[in-house]
Amino acid sequence: MINLLPPDYKQNIVYARRNAALRKWGLALLITIFGAIVIIGGGYIYMDQAIKANQKEVAASQKSLEEQDIEGTRKRLDEISANTKLILQVLSREILFSGLLRQLGATLPAGTSLEQIKIDKVSGGITLKAVAKDIDSATQLQVNLEDPNNKIFQKADLETINCGVAEGATATAYPCSVQIRALFAKDNPYVYIQNTSASGAQP
């Protein structure tokens, strides 16, 4: 086929086709840029809203914690922890109360009566409360408990002694009250204390 079109006209057709292609690519580029702007803008708005929502949630949580008295709860937990440690310490030793009470009864001097045995702190000793007819009987109780021949305590400290009768109180045969803090003897046959530090120790 013989192309009889003038050279200028043919060149205009070529440029027209190129311009049409460029316009298509330009339009596609503009659409892509617009889409990217929309996506970035939407992501920024979403992130901003999420951050604000999280900040509100954190503020609400902090307020809720403050209203729940966390400090008071922490103190109560500390008290429970301390009591648990004391219980574990008590469980780590075995006191043969049947034999201990019999031996204590044998050491009581005449005119005294044992009222209470209290383990307030597990430190190898107990607190004894007793009543007596007079001050001599009360002090003799302390001497008897500290006597090494009894094999109960290596030390007995007289903490309080009171022989006064309160006004209006009914007279009793044992007007004196005495409290003694006693430390168990190491070879006490009535108390077994676990020794976890000794190598090869058997429970």
Do residues 100 and 177 both lie within one domain? yes
Classify residue 88: in a domain, yes or no.
Answer: no
Do residues 106 and 157 both lie within one domain? yes
Q: Which residue has the tokens 């009470």?
A: 101
Share of the chain above pLDDT 90, in %: 10
Classify residue 130: in a domain, yes or no.
Answer: yes
Do residues 160 and 101 both lie within one domain? yes
Classify residue 90: in a domain, yes or no.
Answer: no
Residue 186 has what pLDDT? 79
Residue 191 pLDDT grade (very low, low, confident, very high; cuts 50, 70, 90): low
Classify residue 199: in a domain, yes or no.
Answer: no
Helices (H) and strands (E) in the chain, counts: 4, 6
Residue 70 pLDDT grade (very low, low, confident, very high; cuts 50, 70, 90): low
In this prediction, residues 167-196 reach a mean pLDDT of 74
Do residues 50 and 128 both lie within one domain? no
pTM of the predicted structure, to 2 decimals: 0.46
In this prediction, residues 115-140 reach a mean pLDDT of 82
Classify residue 195: in a domain, yes or no.
Answer: no
Classify residue 78: in a domain, yes or no.
Answer: no
Asked if pLDDT for residue 177 goes beyond 70, the answer is yes
In this prediction, residues 143-172 reach a mean pLDDT of 81
| Secondary structure string (H, E, C) spanning 171-185 | CCCCCEEEEEEEEEC
Q: What is the CATH number of the domain that holds 122?
A: 3.30.1360.100
Question: Residue 19 has which token pair?
Answer: 């311009």
Residue 201 has what pLDDT? 37
Asked if pLDDT for residue 199 goes beyond 70, the answer is no
Residue 131 has what pLDDT? 92
In this prediction, residues 158-186 reach a mean pLDDT of 81
Asked if pLDDT for residue 160 goes beyond 70, the answer is yes
The contacts of residue 181 (CB under 8 Å, 6+ apart) are: 125, 126, 127, 128, 156, 157, 159
For strands 153-162 and 93-95, give the pairing. Answer: unpaired
Do residues 116 and 170 both lie within one domain? yes
Residue 143 has what pLDDT? 92
Asked if pLDDT for residue 198 goes beyond 50, the answer is no
Cβ-contact 176, 158 below 8 angstroms: no
Classify residue 196: in a domain, yes or no.
Answer: no
Classify residue 103: in a domain, yes or no.
Answer: yes
**Stretch (H or E) spanning 12:** helix 7-67
Do residues 34 and 105 both lie within one domain? no
pLDDT digits (tens, 9 = 90+) for 91-104: 555 556 667 788 88
Domain of residue 15, residue span: 7-60
Do residues 106 and 160 both lie within one domain? yes
Domain count, the chain: 2
Do residues 171 and 114 both lie within one domain? yes
Top mean pLDDT of 2-11, 167-176, 180-189 is at: 180-189
In this prediction, residues 145-153 reach a mean pLDDT of 86
Asked if pLDDT for residue 179 goes beyond 90, the answer is yes
